[in-house]
Every structure is written in C-alpha cells, then in structure tokens.
Structure 1
C-alpha cells in the first residue's frame, strides 16, 4: 500500500509540493474537517526527520524546533495526541516540558497571548509548525519566524479562515512578493474525499447560511454582517405553551452575570429528539448575587438539583457562591463565534424553540443582537445579556458532549504501515 491509499488528492498535492518545491513558508487554509491538520501533522514528522539530518551535517547535537498553537492544551490535542493516534508515533516529554523525537528538541510555544513571546525568545530554531494561526497574536507569530534563522529553516502553518481584515490574511496571505517564498493551499470541505457523503450532506444542511457556511464549508475569509441569528423565525420558533412538551430528557441552565448591565438566567429543556426549548428566563438589572441564588434554588426545585448552570466565567466569585449554596454551577465555554455558530445551527435545523410565556428580554435582544463591523469576529456589546446566557447553556453543553465523544477514526495500524517506507 502507498500513501495514496490514505491521503486525499488535495493532501497528496500538498505532499508533492512539500517534497519537490522550494519554499520558506507553507500555509494551508480553509474549511473545517477538510484534512488540513492531518497532512500538516504528517509534514511535521517529515520536517523533524529533515531537521535531524540538517543538524547532523551541522554537527549540532541539540537541534531545536518550534511547535506552536493557541495553547499548550491545543498543541497537545491537535498535534501530539493526533500524531500518536494516527501515525503510532511516541513523543518523549522532558523535564522542561519539551517533546523529543528523532533527536530533535521540540519547543512548545503558545500563540494566543503576548505571554507566548517568552517561550519563543532566546534560541535559534531549525523550523516551526504553527497550528491554527488565526487564534494567535501577530507579535508571537513574528517572533517565531525570526527564530527560524538557520539556513533551510521552514515554517508550516494551518488555520480555518477568519475575518478578511485579520492580520494573518492582510499581512501574510495577501503578500504576493516572490522573495517571501510562501506557498498557499486553500481547502473546502469537499476536498476531504475520505468523509462520508452522508456527513458532508448533513453538515452542509445544518450549517447556518452566510458567514458560518462560507467559512466552515467553503473555507472563505468573509465577515459577519448584520443580525447574528439570521435564521431565527419567530413565527415558527415561538410556540404556545400547550405545544411545549410536559417533560424533557434533560434541563440545562445558562447564567450571564450583571448589575448595571442586565443579568440573566435561562433554562432549556431538551427532548429525546435533541430539540431545545427555552422554558424559563429571568433577566433583571441591579440585582445582587443573593437574588440570583434565590432564582437558582427555585429552578432547582422545579427542574432538579442536578441541573447544570453554565455560567459566565467573568465572575468566578459568583460561581463559587453558587457552588457553596449547593447549586451545580459550571464554567461556561467562552468561545463567542463558535458558540454562536452552535446556537445558530440549532435554529437552522429547526431544533430551537421558545415557549410563548417564557421570554422577558429574549425577543427584544435577538432582533437587536448584531455583529460589530468595526471589530474582528465580535458582536456589539449591547442587547446581549440573555443572548449570552442562552449561548452558555447550549454551546457549553454541546461542546462538552462533542469533546467527550471524540475518538480518532483513522486506523493507526494501517497508516503506520503505510509510513514505514518513509522510516517513520
């Protein structure tokens, strides 16, 4: 068997370019689940072997290589664990929290904040692999490039698209200078020919129209304009209380803290068909934590003491207060755009409903909840209190469930045998 039995035509094209073309930076951008990270993880292993050979020629006994990602957790999940599962590769971790493979010292660098500069400075690198570039800040990415100063050093990077005004697109992808020696590949979800037809059809049908579809499916760098939840239809989604199920498979609550801004607690019921119903909402201004604790206790009596309350993490002392009062408070998932995408997807699929007598501020907010055209991937911080509470409840629960159910589908044994010819 050859690698063509395991790689898609687009991935094979990337591999051919890697093996035969001259470049200083190779960037893969595009849709979700399109196969970018898989092929880049493979190129990462090839790069480590190439670096080991370069170091031997340079009589360098301790060659260093940068492995960068938004956080240490994302580096571990997206690259290290994936390589181990997919290719049967075992990385050794030393006392400095550096990985070792093929005699190369792999230095992790976090790119999400300027704190990552400390991890990138003070040494010379034979190259770098930067996962999910757009989740990082530009000074750290620039520092990584500058560290890769050994003759023959190369940078490999991948990312899903973001706002077209993002620094990575404007400063790097749009740079057409030949001396930049940068090669780019654009992926759509259809480039992943190893995905089932059913999955592709389903994800296309479930992905909200507009920005979400263009980025996730087509892999385009587009902006979000206007209303956040374009697929919300009051005529179909706000239903009489008599049509709301009398019992649910589970209940989920979301909490957005506030004082001058409105605070909000919402409760969703989820039925056996995984349809979400907003059954209660409390949105108030100038209320202390004692008030919200009282509301939470009332909701516990009604929906069960084990009902999770996914909370805004901006006020950890309030979360602690809930916990001390025997409320099942949990930290909410704070990824705004990804969270909005999950909620919007439920609306598009016809799995989002609102009990007619439940809303207090929901209907007012949802029609005034808008993208900020002056900031990248951000919403206007107005009319967002109930919206945030809804997002914490729905997106955190669904995100956590997806994380728990994830398991690599690639055959480690088969792929490993396909890589033996390359000495991996």
Structure 2
C-alpha cells in the first residue's frame, strides 16, 4: 500500500511540503475532524528521527525537543496516546515526566497559563510540536520559539480557529513575512476524505449556521461562543467607501486607567449606521477629550449630539460649558445591546475601514457573563459602550419617539416635568 491509502490529499500536500520545502514553522489551522492532528502527529515522529540524526552529527548525546499543549492531559491524549495507537510506537516515560523516543528527550510544556514558562525555560531545543496553539498564552509560545535556537530547528503547530483578533492569528498568521519562513495550511472538514460521506453530510446538517458552522465545518476565524455581537461579520460590514450621510451622532465612554472612547456614527438616507471615526486612549484628562470633541464638531457639525456615559456628570457639564452638545446617554445595557445587534442582523451596521482603534479587538472579545445571563463581562467594553451610547440613545430618543434617560439626567427630568405642567 502507498501513503495515499492512509493520507488524504491535503495531508499528502502537507507531507510533501515537510519533506521538500524550506521552513522554520509549519502551521495547520482549520475545522475539527479535518485531519490536522493526524498528519502533525506523523510529522512529529519524522521530526524526532531527524533530530536524532542532527544530534548524532553534533555529537550531542542528550538532544531535547519540546512537546507543547494546553495541559499535560491534552498532550498525553492528543499526541502521545494517539501516536501509540496510530503508529504502534511506545514512548518511554522517565521520572521527570519527560518522554523519550529515538534517543531524544521530549519535554512536555503546558501552554494554557503563564505557569508553562517554567517548563520551557533553561534549555536549548532542537524543535517543538505545539498542539492546540490557540488554547495557549502568547508568552509561553514566544518562549518556546526562543528555545528552538539550534541551527535547523523547526516548529510544527496545529490549532482550531478562534476569534479573528486572537493573538496567534494577528501576531503570527497575519504577520507572515518572507523571512519568518512560516508555511500555513488551512483545512475544512471536506479535506478529510477518510470520513464517511454520511458523517460529513450529517454533521453539516446538524451544525447551526453562523459562527458554529464557519468554525467547525469551514475552519474560519470568526466570532466565538458567548460573543455579544455574534452577527458582526468583518467580511461584510467593513466599508472602504461611504454613501452621503444625513446626520452624525457621537457616543462617549469616560475612562482613565481603562480606555476612554469617543466614536462617531454617520446615518445615511436608508437608515444605515456607519462607524466613521473612533478615538480611544488611556490616561487622558477631560481637557484632552474636550479638544477631541471640538475637532469632531468642526468635522461633523457643531450641533452633533454627544451621548455620554452618565457615570461622570461633571464631565458632561464640562462638555456643555465648552459648547459641546452633550447629552445623557441611555444606559439600559441589555436593551441597548439589542438595538445595536438588531442593526447588524438587518444589515444596517457598517464600519469605515480606517475608523477602528479598539473596535475590532473589542467586538470579537465582548462576551456575555456565563454566571449572569443578563450581564456582560466588564472587559473589552470601552469602545463597545461608546457605540451603544451613540446608537441606542439616538434611536431610543428619536426613532422610537420616547426617551427615558438615566435617573441622573437632570435636564431630561426637568424637561419631562415641564411637559407634564409641573
């Protein structure tokens, strides 16, 4: 039998690349059950044989190699036991918890927490195999790279996709310079031709459309489970050219140690909302934000409303006293999120490509609190809050013709009392 009886065509491509191309890092990403780990486990065995020969040529009697994964349990299940079952190979385990094969000392490194740094430090490695890379933290991955400093060392990586702003995608896959000598392969479930047609048809039919399907079946890097704005699609909602706008509105989230943020949305004739500008900064005083607001007024109109976080009413007063049309933002979190989310679902939400500062990073990491279904995790939310204040406040005040401001909205309360004749 030939290898083609055991390997799917995509796996054969990977093997051909491994045997014939020059690289320092070989990365396999994509769908579950697509055959990534099987071929990488095979390359792992090939690498250990290659390392054993390199060590012999270097007169090194104790070559070391890194085997990394989210935890010791996942390393054992995904790689060690799988290799033993699939290839009939037995790894020796020493009293230090290291494996040994072909005379190579295989050091396991856990990548899920910074505690894994201790296992990766203090030695030089002939290479590394990193399983489930996106489940690890970046400092440990960096440490593993730095340890593989012997001439000819190579790193094999496999992972399922995560959110598009994940450190592994942004810092490595999207930053693949020629001198990095990194080769990437993308897998879909259809690349595993050893799966039965019945299984593939069934799993496709049973997997919900959207994020789950895009990740599990197509192997795409899309917004993850628990994301607040699951319908945001960077491929469809980023706009290079914008139509004429009939109105501009702004949202303000105050900050200092965490980011403060001012965003501007344009609204076109069709009622579509476009994020046209974002300013997000840390450690800035109110005078800085006042200067930003004045610049935005000159650009988008002096009467443009700034819907502000009511947590700092003195900042809102400062804006007002400086000629800025500052309004108290509508702060009902879940109803406000529902308004923004509905625009995305209706195809009425877009982002100017040049606008984002923190927006893309936050929207993919803005999560519901799994301990409280009516709350969001108070992280990655500064720009998100500013966007919500702008859109939800404006729609609540104008399109719905009713406005129930925050209880601290003195202006709104007085206006309401006057309307009631009090």
TM-score tier after normalising by the smaller chain length: 0.5 to 0.7
CA contact (8 A) 1:100 1:106 kept: yes
Alignment of 1:171-320 (within 5 A): 171-224=171-224, 226=228
Say if 2:44 is the partner of 1:56: no
State the partner residue of 2:369: 381
Which residue does the alignment assign to 1:118? Answer: 118
**Distance (whole Å) between structure 2 residues aligned to residue 382 and residue 70 of structure 1:** 22
Residues 108 and 119, structure 1, Cα contact 8 Å, conserved in 2? yes
Q: Tell me: CA distance 1:382–1:93, structure 2 relative to 1, closer, same or farther (3 Å).
A: closer
Residue 80 (structure 1) aligned with residue 68 (structure 2)? no
The more displaced of 36-45 and 206-215 is 206-215
Alpha-carbon distance between aligned partners in 1 of 2:374 and 2:78, rounded to the nearest angstrom: 33
Structure 2 Cα separation of the partners of residues 217 and 21 of structure 1: 28
Q: SS at the partner of 2:47? A: helix
Match of 1:136 in 2: 136
Are the aligned partners of 2:228 and 2:366 in contact in 1 as well (CA < 8 Å)?
no
CA contact (8 A) 1:64 1:104 kept: yes
Kept after mapping to 1: 8 A contact 2:211/2:230: no
- Give the Cα separation in 1 of the matches to 2:204 and 2:150: 44
The 1:198/1:229 distance shift into structure 2, 3 A limit, reads: farther
- The 1:229/1:178 distance shift into structure 2, 3 A limit, reads closer
| Deviation for aligned residue 1:385 | 4.7
**Residues 215, 221 of structure 2: 8 Å contact kept:** yes
Q: Take 1:76 and 1:383, find their aligned partners in 2: how far apart are those partners?
A: 31
Alpha-carbon shift at residue 222 of structure 1 (Å): 1.2
Per the alignment, residue 71 of structure 2 pairs with 71
- The alpha-carbon distance between structure 1 residues 211 and 104, as it changes in their structure 2 partners (threshold 3 A), is same
* CA RMSD, 1 decimal: 2.8
Residues 57 and 383 of structure 1: CA distance in aligned 2, closer, same or farther (over 3 Å): closer
Q: After TM superposition, give the deviation of residue 380 of structure 1 in Å.
A: 2.1
Task: Provide the secondary structure at the position in 2 that maps to 1:214.
Answer: helix
Secondary structure of the equivalent of 2:175? Answer: coil
Cα distance in 2 for residues equivalent to 1:146 and 1:110: 16
SS of the aligned residue for 1:115 comes to helix
Matched, 1:43 2:43: yes
Give the Cα–Cα distance (whole angstroms) in 1 for the partners of residues 222 and 161 of structure 2: 8
1-structure distance, mates of 2:231, 2:221: 19
Give the aligned partner of residue 150 of structure 2. 150
For 1:137-177, what per-residue CA distance to the aligned partner results, in whole angstroms no more than 9, with x for missing partners? 00000000000000000000000000010000000001231
Structure 2 equivalent of residue 325 of structure 1: none
How far is 1:382 from its partner?
A: 7.6
CA deviations over 1:34-92 (Å, ceiling 9, x no partner): 00000000000000000000000000000000000000000000000000011101000
Cα distance change on mapping 1:386 and 1:171 into 2, 3 Å: closer
Contact 1:162 1:377 in 2 (8 A): no
Gaps of 5+ in 1: 231-363, 388-424
The equivalent residue for 1:105 is 105
What's the offset of the Cα at 1:218? 0.5
Distance in 1 separating the partners of 2:229 and 2:123: 47
CA drift at 1:379: 2.4
Instruction: Name segments (4+ residues, structure 1) moved above 3 Å.
Output: 224-230, 375-378, 382-387
* C-alpha separation in 1, matches of 2:170 and 2:154: 21
Structure 1 residue 386, shift from structure 2 partner: 9.2
Task: Give CA deviations for 1:259-315 in whole Å, capped at 9, x if unaligned.
Answer: xxxxxxxxxxxxxxxxxxxxxxxxxxxxxxxxxxxxxxxxxxxxxxxxxxxxxxxxx
Equivalent in the alignment of 1:336:
none
**2:13 equivalent to 1:25:** no
Q: How many residues align?
A: 255
Distance 1:143 1:52 in 2: 23
Query: Separation in 2 of the partners of 1:25 and 1:373?
Result: 26
Q: Given that residues 68 and 109 in structure 2 are in contact (C-alpha distance below 8 angstroms), is that contact kept between their aligned partners in structure 1?
A: yes
1:374 aligned counterpart, secondary structure: helix
What residue is the counterpart of 1:311 in the other structure?
none
